[in-house]
Structure 1
Amino acid sequence: MKVLMLMLSDNPGIGGLEKHTQELASAIAKQGHSVSLAAAPQHLEKIEGVTCHAVNARRSRNSITLLVEILRVIREGNYQVLHAQGTKAAFVVQRLAPFIKKHVRVASIHGFKSRYPKAVAFHQLIAVSKALANDINQAEVTVVYNGTSVAKQGPAKPSQAVVNPVWLAVGRLAPVKRFDFLIETFRFCSGTLLIAGEGPEQQRLQALIESTGQTDKIQLLGFRTDIPSLMSAADGVVISSEREGFSYVCAEALLLGKPVISTDVPIANEVLPKDHIYQGDEAAEFARLLQQDLTAATANQAGARAFAKEKLSLSAMADNTVEVYQKASETLALERSKK
């Protein structure tokens, strides 16, 4: 099968969408398929077995020059499957649909939006969680969970003294992650909170830590490349996000055998026990979940860890995605036979 993945993120770094696309492209290529990726230059480095096409992703989804360039890449490559990653790429493929009728068209949606691409422009839509599939609420939506690979590493040594239990939170320091709520929550908790990530909220969050008198309890670690080591050193992982399409942090923590306490976001709310999910805005109530016995919490999440091992691996993600391609190919063949 000859596949072109299209990702039009203009992020300067590698976030969840970029990580997913790179890993999926490589995993499908390892299965023996021919895979190309058209994306911004900064997202094309070191992708094993994948042919890369650099695209200026800073342009609007409605840019005529962008549409013409993507159409040229598609026609020159003689691809069987076009797989748009993210809503921007999906809307571009939707605009081009009348000119690429002979191609199988698939789009992966990674986050909640006020408006989604139209399913009629594609042979299959992929949602990365059940909650997201329900929100899309269109025909021909298949759930394929993001897979990941987490190599167990030795625990990272803290840069300063910590008090157990040690909780780790990971993510971009942006409002949607609600780290301000987590900092308020930790006023009612014992132990240490480590927050790994960088972003526009860093100064405000540091000021909140200081104003709540928690400089000895909470550390902003900044950008880190050793998240598995940090998780290995932590006693538990906490997710405080307002919304997520799919939480890589939850998946990685489960694969490393760490207990997870989370707000009501996918994929945590699909696999964790209900009493490990917090719904609400009361810091003291969220803190109660973080104060439970972690040995018991770990035991109660055995089913979630088994699910992660079976469903959240790179090979499972690649297998399930190729199944979607095959189903979409059958849909296209049926369409063409009726003409």
Structure 2
Amino acid sequence: MKIAHLVSSQIFAGIEQHVYELSSSMSDVSDQVIICDESIHHHMSGMKTQSLSMGSRYSPLNTYKLIKFLNQNNISILHCHGAKASTIGKGIKIFSNIKVVSTIHGHKKNNNAFTNIDAVIGVNKLLVENIPKSTYIPNWFNPSHAGKRSSRIGPIIAIGRLEPVKGFDQLIKSWININENLEVIGSGPEEQSLNQLIHDLNLSDRIRIVTNCDYDSIEEKYKNASGLIVSSHREGGPRVVLEAINHEIPVLGSRVGIIPDLIPKECLSEPGNQESLQVLLEEMVPLLAQLNMEGIKAALIDHYSITNAAKQTKEIYETLLKAS
């Protein structure tokens, strides 16, 4: 069984990390290759990679080039990650007999990219509602992290790309009455405007934006964080919640993705509602030190591990190949 994973982004972020860890975990039971932009090859250490300049998702020439590569390498299944890659995968199905699997990593305006696919995986239950041939396989905590309990002597943290959907502007506005240090960890197009907002609200002594932290160094932040805040308007996962729980860091935030499955409702706010978030934070931040995460971590290890995800994904692959 030979599997090719297709990702279309030129940025190594959550989806790309997901693909790298999944393919690495499954490489002992099947041949794996990651088709990705050359600019992110160095993040895929130890894995076979292939560069294909895909350009437009609707290009017949690009579809032909990909089919040629898949056939020359005897690929059994093309596993597409995200909407653009899945649209390309639909073209592959039209012109070849290669089985196509798609994973939905986040909310989209419509699910057209994921129709007429042999199997669809969603990283939370809502993502695959009403999609035929779909399976819910949740994200997992970082398998390279030791998972040692946080000392909780450091700042409260929020992690994610600095873009509107993450709601960091609402988080900053909600911090006006909180006398704790907050680090917003990430990079992106909103960096300048968020720094300006922090300055305008006179919060520079309590909030700072950290942009020089990557997937390898983030564990150092988890070792001492006293809490994690998620302010997103919508999420596929988010994976940072799983990683925080693995380090027994208390989590507060919006009711998005898989968070309601893991975190008590008393620790949740309404997505996109700044007033709801501020009320939650002002009530719960003073209580973070008292929150015991041992039971939630035990459930996490049972249901949100890379081992479980790889096992379920392998079963989907095998079912498709048996049917053919």
**2:134 counterpart residue number:** 141
- The answer to whether residue 125 in structure 2 is matched with residue 130 in structure 1 is yes
Query: Could you tell me the TM-score, scaled by structure 1's length?
Result: 0.87
Question: For structure 1, which runs of at least 5 residues remain unmatched after alignment?
Answer: 157-162, 334-339
Instruction: Name the % identity.
Output: 26
**2:24 counterpart residue number:** 26
Residues of 2 paired with 1:210 and 1:49: CA distance? Answer: 44
> What does residue range 162-241 of structure 1 map to in structure 2 within 5 Å?
166-225=155-214, 226-241=217-232
Q: Which of 238, 255, 277 pairs up with 1:247?
A: 238
- SS state at 1:237 partner: strand
Q: How far did residue 48 of structure 1 move?
A: 5.0
**1:68 counterpart residue number:** 64
Residues 195 and 27 of structure 1: CA distance in aligned 2, closer, same or farther (over 3 Å): same
Identify the range of structure 1 (86-95 vs 109-118) with the bigger mean alpha-carbon deviation.
109-118
Residues 289 and 227 of structure 1: CA distance in aligned 2, closer, same or farther (over 3 Å): farther
Q: How far did residue 274 of structure 1 move?
A: 1.1
Q: How far did residue 190 of structure 1 move?
A: 1.9
Query: Could you tell me the TM-score, scaled by structure 2's length?
Result: 0.90
Residues of 1 paired with 2:165 and 2:115: CA distance? Answer: 31
Residues of 1 paired with 2:261 and 2:188: CA distance? Answer: 28
Cα deviations by residue, 1:90-121 (Å, 9 ceiling, x for unpaired):
111112212222x3221111111112246552
Residues 327 and 288 of structure 1: CA distance in aligned 2, closer, same or farther (over 3 Å): farther
Residues of 1 paired with 2:16 and 2:108: CA distance? Answer: 18
Would you say the 8 A contact 2:162–2:168 is kept in 1?
A: yes
**1:160 counterpart residue number:** none
Q: Which of 112, 131, 142 pairs up with 2:107?
A: 112
**1:321 counterpart residue number:** 313
**2:247 counterpart residue number:** 256
Number of residues paired by the alignment? Answer: 318
Q: How far did residue 179 of structure 1 move?
A: 0.6
Would you say the 8 A contact 2:161–2:186 is kept in 1?
A: yes
Residues of 2 paired with 1:154 and 1:309: CA distance? Answer: 13
Q: How far did residue 281 of structure 1 move?
A: 2.8
**1:8 counterpart residue number:** 8
Residues 130 and 222 of structure 1: CA distance in aligned 2, closer, same or farther (over 3 Å): same
Residues 248 and 16 of structure 1: CA distance in aligned 2, closer, same or farther (over 3 Å): same
Would you say the 8 A contact 1:164–1:191 is kept in 2?
A: no
> Which residue identity lines up with residue 299 of structure 2 in the other structure?
F
Question: For structure 2, which runs of at least 5 residues remain unmatched after alignment?
Answer: none
Identify the range of structure 1 (62-71 vs 249-258) with the bigger mean alpha-carbon deviation.
62-71
> Which residue identity lines up with residue 105 of structure 2 in the other structure?
H
Q: How far did residue 247 of structure 1 move?
A: 0.6
**2:78 counterpart residue number:** 82
Q: How far did residue 321 of structure 1 move?
A: 1.0
Q: How far did residue 303 of structure 1 move?
A: 3.7
Residues of 1 paired with 2:212 and 2:154: CA distance? Answer: 22
Residues of 2 paired with 1:113 and 1:119: CA distance? Answer: 11
Would you say the 8 A contact 2:148–2:247 is kept in 1?
A: no
- SS state at 1:224 partner: coil
**RMSD (CA atoms):** 2.4
- SS state at 1:70 partner: helix
- SS state at 2:87 partner: helix
Would you say the 8 A contact 2:154–2:224 is kept in 1?
A: no
Residues of 1 paired with 2:8 and 2:318: CA distance? Answer: 24
> Which residue identity lines up with residue 104 of structure 2 in the other structure?
I
Would you say the 8 A contact 1:5–1:83 is kept in 2?
A: yes
Residues of 1 paired with 2:246 and 2:260: CA distance? Answer: 16
> Which residue identity lines up with residue 6 of structure 1 in the other structure?
L
Cα deviations by residue, 1:47-87 (Å, 9 ceiling, x for unpaired):
35532210114x11012221111111111111222211111
Would you say the 8 A contact 2:230–2:252 is kept in 1?
A: yes
Would you say the 8 A contact 1:154–1:229 is kept in 2?
A: no
Residues of 1 paired with 2:236 and 2:289: CA distance? Answer: 29
Residues of 2 paired with 1:144 and 1:154: CA distance? Answer: 25
Identify the range of structure 1 (165-174 vs 212-221) with the bigger mean alpha-carbon deviation.
165-174
Would you say the 8 A contact 1:150–1:256 is kept in 2?
A: no
